[in-house]
Amino acid sequence: MTFETAYPAQAALGECPLWRADTRRLWWVDIEAPAIHCLDPATGRNDTLAMDENVGCIALRAGGGFIAGLRSGLWLLDARGGKERLIANPQPDTAISRFNDGRADAWGRFWAGTIHEPRDRPAAQLCRVDADLTCTQVKGEIMVSNGLAFSPDRRWMYHSDTPAHVIYRYPLDADGTPGAREVFHQFPHGNGRPDGAAVDAEGCYWSALYDGGRVVRLSPAGEILAEHPVPARCPTMCAFGGPDLRTLYVTSARHGRPEAELADWPQAGNIFAMRVDTPGLPEPRFGG
């Protein structure tokens, strides 16, 4: 199994790949060259919805359009990316904070975390938006919120704090409310940091290691089962797609990387794909 370029995006900061099964399209965002993109892997066509501010994450809405974590807050967007309604802006200072990683859960809610850009203290947070558009801060004392994913049996939520090199998991009750966190996997410093992730049908967690040039597959117990090199130093997030959900897509970044590194990794910013043995899970939609 080897990653190959699925689309030569050359994105500044590609993120949040999201497979839409009924149209067989891969949605993704570029945070720093702000836009929502839609890729048809069969033809290579990529349509772009330009945004007027950083877009960190999106999820499809059950009634059409998107919910999105933007720099200015959590928004409902129409099918063309137009702003319909600001749900909440829980960030104290959007000059140094924006929404980052996020996704919908099986209960039809949307989870999104922020990034504290100075990275001098754990001032970021994790929020949940319910279908009635109520926004709740679930966790605080985070520096860079990332790696949101949920186990197939709905028992666990996964979440990472990237600069701390750690992935946590939280037990979920019957309503999907998280309990006390525990360390799922601690990575050593200096060989990649856990960024975005996805969970497969066996409950294994796939994590893109930013600045580590690889994606790792972790067992439900947190043990590394496999490591797969990516043709970019900074992979950012994983998503399962394809008609059988056995294609693993990975976005990547080139924004802010040294020129010498980009010369060594010319495919940085592209979207990569790899066939895998175990399928992923259909991506839920936000119920609001």
Residues with catalytic annotation? 195
DSSP 237-261: EEEEESTTS-EEEEEEB-TT--HHH
Amino acid at 191: N
Contacts of 218 (CB under 8 A, 6+ apart): 167, 184, 185, 204, 205, 206, 207, 224, 225
Structure tokens at 139: 């966790």
Cα angle at 106 between 133 and 172, to 5 degrees?
Answer: 95
Query: What are the φ and ψ backbone dihedral angles of 95, each rounded to 5 degrees?
Result: -70, -25
Residue 20 β-bridge partners: 25
Q: Tell me the H-state helices in the chain.
A: 259-264
Structure tokens at 23: 């149209």
Q: What is the dihedral of CA 85, 88, 92, 93, to 10 degrees?
A: -20
Q: How far is CA 12 from the centre of its chain?
A: 15
Q: What is the rounded radius of gyration, in angstroms, for the C-alpha atoms of the chain? A: 17
Strand order in the sheet with 110-116: 97-104, 110-116, 124-129, 135-142
